[in-house]
Structures are given as C-alpha cells and as structure tokens.
Amino acid sequence: MFKLVKRLTSVVAMFAVLFTFTTETMAAKKSKTLKNTQKKGFVRCGVSQGLPGFSNADAAGNWTGVDVDVCRAVAAAVLGDSSKVKFTPLSAKERFTALTSNEIDILSRNTTWTLSRDADIGLTFVGVNFYDGQGFMVRKNSGISSVNDFKAGVSACTNLGTTTELNMRDFFNSKGIKYEPVTFEKADEVVAAYDAGRCDTYTTDKSGLAAQRIKLSNPDDHMVLPETISKEPLGPVVRQGDSVWEDIVRWSLNTMIEAEEYGVTSANADMMKTSDNPAVKRLVGAEGELGAALGLDNEWSLRIIKQVGNYGESYKRNIADTGILPDRGPNQLWTKGGILYVPPAR
C-alpha cells in the first residue's frame, strides 16, 4: 500500500517536473503559499513578542519595525495593500516550528542566518535586513568598560534558544572564564532579571540591547560594551520547498534596498516612472516584465516603495528616529561605506 502511494507520487512528481519545464512562466502561479495567501487575503507573518525598532506593537495593536516592514512589503506586492498582514508574535523557541508547521508563511523576527538553520530544519533564509552582532550590556558604575574586564563567576542573562547562548559559551571559553548562564524564554523576563541585579551582564544582539535598554527602570545607568563578539546577520525566513514564494519575499526585501540605492522614495516613486535611468524605470515597473517572473503584476515593486518606503525610510522611521541606533553602522548602503549590497533587479 505504502509502496504504491510512493510510486504514484513519484509519477505525479515526474509529470509535474515535465509540466513546469514546458510552461516556465506558468510556474510562478504554481506556488501554493502564494495561492493560499491570495485566497486568504492576508500575509501570515511571524514576528517577535516585542522588540522596539524591529517588531513591536503599540497600545492599539499596530505593529511597527523593520522586520514588520518586510512583511508589509510582501503584502503590498502580493495583495496590493501593505496593511493586509496578520502578525503572530512568537518566542525564540516557537518560531521555527510555527513556520515549518504552516502556521505562518514568513518569519521576520530578528533571526540569525546560520548554516544548520538554513540546511537542516526545513527553512530557507532569503536575505539579510539587518547586520548585527552580539554584545554585552553592563551597569555603568560597575567599572567594566570592555569585555576583557569580566572575571570568573560573572552571571549573564540571555534569551533561551538563540545563537546567543552558543556565542556566549564560545566567547567565555576562549577567555577561560567560568560563567553562569541564566536563560529565560521571554525577553521581558530577561530584562526584569537583569534589572533586579540577578545578572552582572545582559547579552544578546546589539540592536536588541539598544532596544531593550529603554525598558530598564533607569536606562541611563546602563551601557553597551563596545566589542562585538559574533556575526549576526538577521533576515526573513520562509519554508523550504516553495521557491516562488521564496523569490517573492527575497525580491520584496531587495526592492526596498535597491530603491534606496537609486534614490526612489515613497514620495517620489510615481514621478520616477519617467526617469532617464532604465534601472530606476525597471524598479518602478515602467520598463521590463519583472513582475511576471514572480507571478505578480508589473506594479508590485512600485506598491512596495509607495506603501512601505525604501529601506532607508524604514530604518529612519523605526530605528533611527526612535533613538535606538541612530548610527546605521554596517547597515548603510555599499555606496556609502556600509555593506548593504543587493543583486540588481533586472
């Protein structure tokens, strides 16, 4: 019985492969996730349980942040309306299971891209929307001004189920320091425990430290140490096995970054249709048939820029203007000394 099912599926799969070869442009419409999203009328997006600047809900339940904007961009591209997103707050522990078990279609939750996550557990990372690195926060009056000042017996609070736990071990081991890891499931509990004095230091991605510092009872009494002990490229993730959906999410993000590179903003996007630069015209859908390759109409990228804005606008609105990280650091365009560099949309 089982064998028969297997044989049948392989035959069907072979036909499917043949079929996709013959009608390549039709392939775009064969994405199950895309079809489901269009049928439902909203994009299902997994976000954090509250990380200011990245994904955070206000009192009225409106989500904002650079991670949130990735999902909004996809909604604008696929459904024509950036507000048609259903956000699901997830803990670090729940996030991958929620994605692989089909509860959400995009995971945009300050998630570090690593080999084992990409290859081993049924996920695909589509790009990087924030280059981060792990750091340490300490009390200003502790006299600790560098990671070299830590002594054996130091207790470090952090989040459960993150790359942070592994980096922390690598770091303290390389220094030969015995430390005490105190790991909580929710970020709010980490902050509360560190605030109470349970831990000497709070370690996570530097952007996270900057964002969580605001939640402490006296933010000015704390500071983030200058050293960065790891690479943390954060980006959106999709389920493995739906390459069309993967492409849509990837190029929605790329469009935002490329729009900044070419100076296309939410304000001037419409006027750019008559630009002299063919790259700009392609970006706003006035030239070429790029949308069709993704199974979308040709205005998809224009909608992203008009409704969500380019990457620079998103960064300014969510991270710089809120005082979290006014300096863009590595998250600056490659043309301006940063490392944001995306493949051309053509």
Minimum gap (Å) between residue 149 Cβ and another protein? 6
Taking CB under 8 A as the binding criterion, the range among 146-154, 222-230, 254-262, 295-303 that sits at the site for another protein is: 146-154
Q: Does 144 bind another protein (CB under 8 A)?
A: yes
**DSSP alpha helix (H) spans, the chain:** 2-22, 32-40, 66-79, 95-100, 115-120, 163-175, 187-196, 206-213, 243-261, 278-283, 290-293, 300-307, 311-315
Minimum gap (Å) between residue 63 Cβ and another protein? 24
Tokens of 113: 């891209």
Cα 337 to chain centroid distance, Å, stands at 22
Q: Does 16 bind another protein (CB under 8 A)?
A: no
Return the amino acid letter for 180: E
Q: Which is nearer to another protein, 1 or 60 (CB)?
A: 1
Q: Does 154 bind another protein (CB under 8 A)?
A: yes
What 3-state DSSP class applies to 232? strand
Minimum gap (Å) between residue 105 Cβ and another protein? 13
Residues 215-234 interacting with another protein (rule: CB under 8 A): none
Q: Does 139 bind another protein (CB under 8 A)?
A: yes
Task: List C-alpha distances in Å: 234 to 71, 163, 210, 226, 346.
Answer: 14, 11, 16, 20, 25
Residues comprising the chain, all counted: 346
Q: Which of 166, 214, 271, 339 binds another protein (CB under 8 A)?
A: 166
Minimum gap (Å) between residue 174 Cβ and another protein? 12
Taking phi over 0 as left and psi of -120 to 50 as alpha, with beta for the rest, 252 belongs to alpha
Q: Which is nearer to another protein, 237 or 272 (CB)?
A: 237
Q: What are phi and psi of 157, to 5 degrees?
A: -90, 140
Minimum gap (Å) between residue 292 Cβ and another protein? 27
Output b/e per residue, 264-291; b: 16+ Cβ within 10 A. bbbeebeebeebeeeebbbbbbbbbebb
Q: Does 61 bind another protein (CB under 8 A)?
A: no
Taking CB under 8 A as the binding criterion, the range among 61-69, 164-172, 280-288, 323-331 that sits at the site for another protein is: 164-172
DSSP 161-214: TSHHHHHHHHHHHHHT--EEEEEESSHHHHHHHHHHTS-SEEEEEHHHHHHHHT
Report yes or no: 225 and 146 within 8 Å, Cβ to Cβ: yes
Binding mask 324-343 for another protein (x = CB under 8 A): --------------------
Report yes or no: 311 and 128 within 8 Å, Cβ to Cβ: no
Q: Which of 28, 160, 279, 286 binds another protein (CB under 8 A)?
A: 160
Taking CB under 8 A as the binding criterion, the range among 50-58, 73-81, 91-99, 330-338 that sits at the site for another protein is: 91-99
Binding mask 176-215 for another protein (x = CB under 8 A): ---xxxxxxx---x--xx--xxx-x---------------
Binding site for another protein (CB under 8 A): 92-93, 96-97, 100, 116-117, 120-122, 138-139, 141-144, 149-151, 153-155, 157, 160-162, 165-166, 168-170, 173, 179-185, 189, 192-193, 196-198, 200, 239-241
